[in-house]
């Protein structure tokens, strides 16, 4: 299938992470960058803590496509100016994968504020500013945000995370009709239990849940599966898909 995205310019916020224990376990952002490059997309990306991972990712991309990636450090828990960072390279496809969580029954005030800033306020700021640039450039645009199937759910260890993802999902739904008038579609992708460096300490539990069919599909999702979905959503073929897209193997239906 021709996805019609060859030579498009994408910006992936939050990529480069790979497990230090098992290199087959990649972050969602890393898998997205690789998948888009294989489709002939010119991929710019940001990293935060994984500088070595970002450098290795850039090397792999150069072997896939003659279009060299541009990558730079971005910590969205701090103040930043996204317009100056993109330096006029206005993306056709914007994918925001950066996020954080604190696994605790009693998170500190700082942890709560940081989670809300990273998962909601900074994401909203990036969309607001770059969607304006995308619109002014006259390009049809795609904006995809990585959220979670836990958005709006109750969770005794991840409540602020759940709340922050609900906030961003609500924002996406609010922006769908506004951005559609500017020829930009926006989607919030809500993965379920996914095998990534962030979750690998809980993979044994996830596998147990899959075997017991607490995850109805019986399978823990790979970052590559999420990347494949997002690559399709990046295409003009998915122009009419807006709002929330769940890819959780039915797990959200087994949550209280």
- Quote the CA–CA distance of 32 and 129 in Å, as a whole number: 22
- Quote the CA–CA distance of 50 and 175 in Å, as a whole number: 31
35 HSE (CA, 13 A, CB side): 24
What CATH architecture is 9-240? Answer: 3-Layer(aba) Sandwich (3.40)
- Quote the CA–CA distance of 52 and 16 in Å, as a whole number: 8
Domain ranges of the chain: 9-240
- What tens-digit pLDDT sequence spans the chain (256 residues)? 899 999 999 999 999 998 877 878 899 999 999 999 999 999 999 999 889 999 999 999 999 988 889 999 999 999 999 999 998 899 999 999 999 999 999 999 999 999 999 999 999 999 999 999 999 988 789 999 999 999 999 999 999 999 999 999 999 999 999 999 999 999 999 999 999 988 888 889 999 999 999 999 999 999 999 999 999 999 999 999 999 999 999 999 987 6
Model pTM score: 0.96
Q: Are 145 and 188 in contact (CB under 8 A)?
A: yes
- Quote the CA–CA distance of 61 and 42 in Å, as a whole number: 9
Report DSSP letters for 171-232, one per residue.
Answer: HHHHHHHHHHTTTEEEEEEEE-SEESTTTGGGHHHHHHHHHTTSSTTS-PEEHHHHHHHHHH
């Amino acid at each position: 299938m021709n996805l019609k995205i060859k030579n498009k310019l994408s910006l992936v916020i939050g990529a480069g992470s790979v497990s230090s224990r098992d290199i087959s376990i990649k972050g969602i952002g890393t898998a997205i960058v690789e998948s888009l490059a294989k489709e002939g997309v010119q991929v710019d990306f940001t990293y935060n803590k994984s500088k070595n991972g970002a450098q290795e990712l850039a090397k792999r991309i150069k072997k896939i496509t003659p279009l060299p990636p541009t990558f730079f450090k971005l910590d969205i828990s701090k103040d930043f100016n996204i317009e100056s960072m993109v330096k006029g390279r206005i993306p056709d496809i914007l994918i925001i994968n950066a996020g954080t969580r604190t696994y605790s029954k009693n998170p500190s005030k700082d942890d709560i504020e940081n989670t809300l800033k990273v998962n909601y306020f900074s994401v909203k700021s990036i969309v607001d500013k770059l969607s304006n640039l995308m619109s002014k450039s006259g390009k049809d645009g795609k904006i995809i945000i990585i959220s979670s199937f836990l958005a709006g759910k109750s969770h005794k260890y991840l409540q602020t995370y759940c709340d922050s993802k609900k906030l961003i999902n609500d924002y996406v739904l609010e922006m769908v009709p506004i951005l559609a008038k500017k020829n930009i579609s926006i989607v919030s992708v809500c993965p379920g239990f996914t095998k990534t460096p962030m979750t690998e300490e809980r993979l044994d539990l996830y596998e147990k849940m899959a075997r017991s069919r607490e995850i109805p599909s019986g399978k823990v999702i790979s970052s590559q599966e999420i990347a494949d979905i997002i690559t399709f959503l990046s295409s003009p073929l998915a122009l009419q898909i807006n709002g929330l897209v769940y890819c959780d193997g039915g797990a959200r239906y087994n949550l209280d």
